[in-house]
Amino acid sequence: MGSARMNRPPDSYFERGLALLEAGDYDGAVAQFDSAIKLGLGDLAAVHVWRGEALMLLGQYEAAEQSIHNALREQPYLAQAYLARGKLLQRQNQRDKAIADLSASLQIEPNYAEACYARAQCYEDLRRFSEAEADLTRALELNPDLLPAWEARGRLRARRFELDGAVSDLSHYLRSGGGRLHDNHSETQGYLLILRVWRLLWRVVRLGRRG
């Protein structure tokens, strides 16, 4: 057992932890990250951040916050750590604090699409719709492949009765495979159909008024 560990590449615990995290085995991911931390292997700040993500998904918020704090102690200007803590605070309905952390992440790394997307969700929760849409648009400028941002902006635009934009965004989301990837294809397809009907009715009403 000892020799097998010695023969492992330095980042193997971290990489295995990431694979388990992606597969939904959050306990297993935490165990791998703990091994990396115990042995002092790899980028420890990144390990602490991803460990915090796994703990957050397990609902262990205090432990997650401590892990992210440890990451910031290793690297005080780590944009990914502020993003992780912002997402954690959002889950705890502390949206103003979440926005502060996500803004800090963007100050460190202005082109961080994921931080723009996460902050947009907080803004929308606070009904700050213009700021939410601006962040989603910026996220998509930075990373057009960030499919959840297309869906989020489409639904936000529908909420603001910007039907053309909503239909365009949600159509792109479905065409790009977002619905199948995130297991909401049928629901989004049904919602898009409703939006198209609303848009048609609104056009008929407008034509009637002109007449």
Domain 77-143 falls under CATH 1.25.40.10? yes
CA 200 – CA 197 distance, rounded (Å): 5
Looking at the predicted structure, is the pLDDT value of residue 4 above 50? no
What are the two backbone dihedrals, phi and then psi, of residue 162, each rounded to the nearest 5 degrees? -95, 75
Q: 143, 132, 144, 152: which is closest to 176 by C-alpha?
A: 144
pLDDT (0 to 100) of residue 207: 76
DSSP letters, 92-159, are: TT-HHHHHHHHHHHHHH-TT-HHHHHHHHHHHHHTT-HHHHHHHHHHHHHH-TT-HHHHHHHHHHHHH
Q: Tell me which DSSP letter residue 24 carries.
A: T
DSSP letters, 196-210, are: HHHHHHHHHHHHHHH
Mean pLDDT for 190-197 is 97
Q: What is the dihedral of CA 104, 141, 126, 60, to 10 degrees?
A: -60
> Worst-scoring range by mean pLDDT, 17-21, 167-171, 200-204?
200-204
194, two tokens: 């409703």
CA 191 – CA 113 distance, rounded (Å): 26
pLDDT (0 to 100) of residue 209: 74
pLDDT (0 to 100) of residue 100: 99
The alpha-carbon radius of gyration of the chain (Å, integer) is 21
Per-residue pLDDT band for 206 (boundaries 50, 70, 90) equals confident
Looking at the predicted structure, is the pLDDT value of residue 35 above 50? yes
What are the pLDDT digits (tens) for 129-164? 999 999 999 999 999 999 999 999 999 999 999 999
What are the pLDDT digits (tens) for 36-92? 999 998 899 999 999 999 999 999 999 999 999 999 999 999 999 999 999 999 999
CA 66 – CA 63 distance, rounded (Å): 5
What are the pLDDT digits (tens) for 76-115? 999 999 999 999 999 999 999 999 999 999 999 999 999 9
Same fold, 1-75 and 77-143: yes
Per-residue pLDDT band for 204 (boundaries 50, 70, 90) equals confident
Looking at the predicted structure, is the pLDDT value of residue 203 above 90? no
Of residues 150 and 9, more confidence is placed in: 150
For the structural domain made of 1-75, what CATH number should be given?
1.25.40.10
Domain boundaries, the chain: 1-75, 77-143, 149-177+186-211
